[in-house]
Amino acid sequence: MRILKDFKVPNFKFPKLKMEGISEIDEETVEQPVIKKKIKYETKNYKTIKEVFDKVTVEFKDRPFILEKFDHKEPFTEISYGQFRKDVIGLGTGLMKLLNLKDKRIVIIGENTYHWYVSYIAMLCGVGIAVPVDKELPANEIENVVKRAKASAIIYSTKKKEVIKKIKDNLTGVEYFIEMNEKSDIQGRDVGASYLIEQGNRMVESGDHTLMDIEIDPEEFKLLIFTSGTTSKAKGVMINNKNLSQNVNVVGAYVYIGEQDRFFSVLPLHHTYESSIGFLLPMSVGASVAICEGLKYIVPNLQETKPSIMLTVPLLVENLYKKINANIVKSKKDKLVKSMIHLTNALKGVNIDVKRKVFKEIYENLGGNLRIIVSAAAPIDPKVGKWVQDIGISFLQGYGLTETAPIAALTPEFDPRVGSAGKAVTCAKLKINHPNEAGEGEVFIKSDTLMLGYYEDEQATKEVVHEIDGERWFNSGDVGYLDEDGYLFITGRSKNVIVTQNGKNIYPEEIELLLGKIEEIKECMVYGKEEQGSKELLLSVKVIPDHEKIEEKHGKDLREEEIHKIIWEEIKKVNKKLTSYKAIKNLEIKKDEFEKTTTMKIKRFAELQKDKK
């Protein structure tokens, strides 16, 4: 749904790694091992997000919740749970009492910022239906979403002010335009969110407890999220409080998260992965959330806020991996690091964990406290996940979709298996529908996190939600298999599948992972190219070259045909590892960026539509 034509992975800057002392494992280190304590893993039983909010904002009222840098030149500001509670209740009261927006639909649009969190929770506490919208959408698409959602108000960040101005006159159904962090009183259809909070708090102080007195029905439609449209036109997903609260409830069975933890927020909040697992989950245990200023500030923000948990997507973690290892190579300590990985792995096998001491310099570059990295939204090269584990950080993978709000599977930290998308969470079941001889088939999900359905599209809902033996099962559209222990392995996406004339199925993701290991390739997309006069699709790949690496390895000022030849020679090596029908037959060098979703997945549907045009 979002077009990211100009998206580029930031050039992360790490200080030069000296890796001094890495070879020193002294007797004191071994005699005083850091042995992971046995932790009791358990689930919670929240019915609604309001129940979570009401409990934690009182219990942890003096603890920091949100950390945000409102001015790049200033330190991060810490906002407590107590202040968050006051602002949420104030805004919710103001929205209902001053603007009469009870039970209406309100669009929330903006970058990750404190008032986004406040607005979202105010809605979930009983104001109405929240409609989080991608801040990167062009003006005309924002207008379309607002109209499709039948929104009565828009809460927007100051950075979106000019975009809202452009479409304001076309949105006659919108009663109020509410600017975050703005104190202006009601002027026609415009009002500041800070004004509503202030006035709402005055009403609360005078004895108005309307917001917190509202009873929330866990099954009631309270959240409308439009999908990214990776493979087709974006759909509106209807979510209830039960779906969201179950995300919070089940993670604790697989991963220990406590009030001492700090999450690092780098992914967009309108996406369910970040808003559920990166916001509602830490809130449920009294943990804090540090908001990254932007992709180019990831490294300094990590070092300043010192988070313990980071949610990310493969593209980001792979680039962190590449940059750190490039620095290690420059330090001429890469062979030593590899040998120390082997040694520390062996020690860990006998319950002696010295990784944090041995790889201290790498930890310091990531803030010093990072203990968990979670990757989701797309497949990742297993060697990257294994490397993260090898340096002593738990590498977990999650699996789900917007339709499952989003979590359906997660790798337990006590038994992680790099390469797997995880086991079904405790409120879900997974099954492979009509598996082939290799056990592969479409992944079906039954879960308490499963959506109510698609907004105003009953037919589309029926196409993916099937009643089997009286239970609702969701056809994810992904293809994979379950191992003997119930771990899920995703091998492709059925909507992306390329079917050969003799009935063979080719899943592009499988080949893309192999091509992604070619240093000269920055990004790629495998697809079946239609050729005039032929029924057979030509297995092709669009490639964005890594010009920096090509220049480093092959020299400067190369012509396009020379770059094509270099990459094609590398692809031919990959082809030798594939069965013949999966071999790439055609290479296209792409000069512009791929269109991407907010979780940085290539929008295949949009890219293929370009070719047809």
For the stretch 531-568, pLDDT in tens is 877 767 899 999 999 999 999 999 999 999 999 999 99
Q: What is the mean pLDDT of the chain?
A: 90
Give the pLDDT of residue 196.
98
pTM value > 0.85 = no
**Which residue has better confidence, 30 or 320?**
320
**Which residue has better confidence, 214 or 11?**
214
Domain borders along the chain are 49-56+74-215, 497-612
Q: Is the model's pLDDT at 456 over the cut of 80? A: yes
Q: Which CATH number fits domain 49-56+74-215: 3.40.50.2000, 1.10.10.1100, 3.40.50.2300, 3.40.50.980?
A: 3.40.50.980
Q: Is the model's pLDDT at 38 over the cut of 50? A: no
Contact yes or no for 333/361 (Cβ under 8 A): no
For the chain, what percent of residues have pLDDT higher than 90?
72
For the chain, what percent of residues have pLDDT higher than 70?
91
| Angle between the N-to-C axes of helices 81-97 and 114-122, in degrees from 0 to 180, rounded to the nearest 10 | 60
Query: If pLDDT is split at 50, 70 and 90, which confidence band does 524 have?
Result: very high
Tokens of 190: 């415009």
For the stretch 205-226, pLDDT in tens is 999 999 999 999 999 999 999 9
DSSP state of 494: G
Span of 10-14, 354-358, 427-431, 489-493 with lowest mean pLDDT: 10-14
**Which residue has better confidence, 231 or 255?**
255
Report the SS3 class of residue 403: helix
Q: 607's torsion region: left (phi>0), alpha (psi -120 to 50) or beta?
A: alpha
Give the pLDDT of residue 546.
94
Give the pLDDT of residue 211.
98
**Which residue has better confidence, 274 or 17?**
274
Give the pLDDT of residue 53.
98
Sheet with 586-589, strands from edge to edge, namely 521-529, 538-545, 586-589
Task: For residue 459, count other CB atoms closer than 10 A to its CB.
Answer: 7
Task: For residue 236, count other CB atoms closer than 10 A to its CB.
Answer: 20
Q: Which CATH number fits domain 497-612: 3.40.640.10, 3.30.300.30, 3.40.50.300, 3.50.50.60?
A: 3.30.300.30
Helices (H), 99-172: 114-122, 139-149, 161-168
Give the pLDDT of residue 495.
73
Query: If pLDDT is split at 50, 70 and 90, which confidence band does 581 have?
Result: confident
Give the pLDDT of residue 17.
66
Span of 9-13, 287-291, 346-350, 374-378 with lowest mean pLDDT: 9-13
Q: Is the model's pLDDT at 469 over the cut of 60? A: yes
Q: Is the model's pLDDT at 22 over the cut of 70? A: no
Highest-pLDDT range among 15-24, 36-45, 176-185: 176-185
Distances from the Cα of 505 to the Cα of 201, 289, 491, 495, angstroms = 60, 43, 11, 11
Give the DSSP letter string of 271-287.
SHIIIIIIIIHHHHHT-
Mean pLDDT, rounded, for 475-487: 94
Give the pLDDT of residue 237.
96
Distances from the Cα of 180 to the Cα of 91, 355, 512, angstroms = 11, 44, 41
Task: With residue 423 as reference, give the H or E element that holds it.
Answer: strand 422-424
Within 13 A of 127's CA, how many CA atoms are on the CB side?
31
For the stretch 142-182, pLDDT in tens is 999 999 999 999 999 999 999 999 999 999 999 999 999 99
Give the pLDDT of residue 609.
74
User: Going by C-beta distance under 8 Å and a sequence separation of 6 or more, which residues neighbour residue 422?
Assistant: 254, 396, 397, 398, 399, 409, 410, 411, 412, 487, 488
Cα–Cα distance for residue pair 222/50, rounded to 1 Å:
12
φ, ψ dihedrals at 238, nearest 5°: -95, 120
Mean pLDDT, rounded, for 435-440: 90
Mean pLDDT, rounded, for 106-114: 98
Q: Is the model's pLDDT at 73 over the cut of 90? A: yes
Give the pLDDT of residue 15.
66
Query: If pLDDT is split at 50, 70 and 90, which confidence band does 21 have?
Result: low
φ, ψ dihedrals at 453, nearest 5°: 155, 180
Distances from the Cα of 245 to the Cα of 8, 88, 205, 476, angstroms = 34, 18, 29, 21
Query: If pLDDT is split at 50, 70 and 90, which confidence band does 521 have?
Result: very high
Q: Is the model's pLDDT at 8 over the cut of 80? A: no
Report the SS3 class of residue 255: coil
Amino acid in position 327? N
Give the pLDDT of residue 2.
31
**Which residue has better confidence, 350 or 91?**
91
Give the pLDDT of residue 503.
60
Q: Is the model's pLDDT at 611 over the cut of 80? A: no
| Angle between the N-to-C axes of helices 81-97 and 193-205, in degrees from 0 to 180, rounded to the nearest 10 | 90
Query: If pLDDT is split at 50, 70 and 90, which confidence band does 572 have?
Result: very high
Sheet with 153-156, strands from edge to edge, namely 190-192, 176-179, 153-156, 105-109, 129-133, 221-226, 236-240, 453-454
User: Going by C-beta distance under 8 Å and a sequence separation of 6 or more, which residues neighbour residue 523?
Assistant: 516, 543, 544, 594, 602
